[in-house]
Amino acid sequence: MSIVVTGATGHLGRLVIDALLDRGVPAADIAAVVRDKDKAAALAARGIELRIADYSAPETLAGAFRSGDRVLLISGSEVGRRVPQHTAVVAAAKAAGVAQLAYTGILGGPDADFLLADEHKATEQVILDSGLPYTFLRNGWYHENYTENLAPVLAHGAVVASAGEGRIASAARADYAAAAAAVLTGDLDAHLGRAYELSGDVAWSLAEYAAEVARASGQEIAHRDVPAAAHLEVLTGAGVPQQFAEILVDVDAAVARGRLAGTSGELAALIGRATTPLASAVAVAVKG
């Protein structure tokens, strides 16, 4: 039996591997499902087994899992293609007879009423229909969704959005990785059939975010709330593809409706500590 992390060379996957090792899981008991063996050389050097497979090539997934494995399915990054990709992974996991399939979905699960949630909701249903023993990790927003895009904010001195006074209970990507590691290493019976609503301890507004960036950078940073149509124009004008820009504007509408503001405390409970404050993430990002 191995603990298997799919998408293991991605931002979240690498952190999950680190979190598993930090929890004392031997490298030999961890398997990383990756598309590119060369990109995973650092994982192999740490003694982690590589299993080469591609979400978009179902035939490659046949050897990705073993009977009794505890598997983390990290959602794919190709919006619009994720349901068939995830369905292929679920089929391979079922055929192998894995002991647990944990899936990184989105905060709110079936109640999430915005475009970016659609594929996650569909994937959860595929997993339920499969009959696999599951755990749903419904991740809220990452601090990094904002802090990794600070360059234009600092260049223009403004956070431009269309979320109004809506609040976001984000946490650090590493916090979510630690929660996944806890679920993959904890008592199996305690986690099977569970859906965890994971989010940061404190919800903040984009006006507060702008103030935090100003504090950390020493620059004047304004918060410019604009209508959705104007926000879309700003994004596409900056080179964001139309379809993705529409998704981002739709997310801001969800933020305005309070869909990403929930503070259940379940993330902190799983990781055994408070979630990383936004101020800490901003300070690190500003320092570069």
Domain boundaries, the chain: 3-140+173-198, 146-167+201-262+276-287
List the one residue out of 141, 140, 143 whose CA is nearest residue 213: 143
d(CA 53, CA 166): 40
> Is the pLDDT confidence value at 259 over 90?
yes
User: Does residue 74 contact residue 4 with C-beta atoms inside 8 Å?
Assistant: no
CATH superfamily, region 146-167+201-262+276-287: UDP-galactose 4-epimerase, domain 1 (3.90.25.10)
Residues 28-49: pLDDT tens digits? 999 999 999 999 999 999 999 9
Residues 159-217: pLDDT tens digits? 999 999 999 999 999 999 999 999 999 999 999 999 999 999 999 999 999 999 999 99
| 72 φ/ψ angles, rounded to the nearest 5 degrees | -105, 115
d(CA 199, CA 250): 20
Residue 202's pLDDT is 98
Would you call 262 helix, strand, or coil by DSSP?
coil
Q: Grade residue 60 by pLDDT with cuts at 50, 70 and 90.
A: very high
User: Does residue 217 contact residue 286 with C-beta atoms inside 8 Å?
Assistant: yes
Which numeric CATH code is attached to 3-140+173-198?
3.40.50.720
> Is the pLDDT confidence value at 66 over 90?
yes
Q: What percent of the chain has pLDDT over 90?
A: 95
User: Does residue 6 contact residue 72 with C-beta atoms inside 8 Å?
Assistant: yes
Residue 79's pLDDT is 85
Average pLDDT over residues 118-140: 98
Residue 227's pLDDT is 98
d(CA 287, CA 106): 30
User: Does residue 8 contact residue 184 with C-beta atoms inside 8 Å?
Assistant: no
Average pLDDT over residues 122-143: 98
Q: Grade residue 14 by pLDDT with cuts at 50, 70 and 90.
A: very high
Residue 80's pLDDT is 82
CA dihedral 20, 26, 28, 29 (to 10 degrees): -60
Q: What angle do CA 85, 91, 67 make, to 5 degrees?
A: 125
Average pLDDT, the chain: 96
Residue 264's pLDDT is 95
Residue 78's pLDDT is 85
Residues 75-123: pLDDT tens digits? 988 888 899 999 999 999 999 999 999 999 999 999 999 999 999 999 9
The b-or-e profile of 244-254 (16+ CB within 10 A means b, else e) is: ebbbbbbbbbb
Average pLDDT over residues 3-22: 97
Pairing of strands 167-168, 194-198: unpaired
* 146-167+201-262+276-287 shares the fold of 3-140+173-198: no
Residue 77's pLDDT is 82
CA dihedral 286, 207, 238, 226 (to 10 degrees): -170
Q: Grade residue 288 by pLDDT with cuts at 50, 70 and 90.
A: confident
Q: If you ran DSSP here, which 8-state letter would residue 221 be given?
A: -
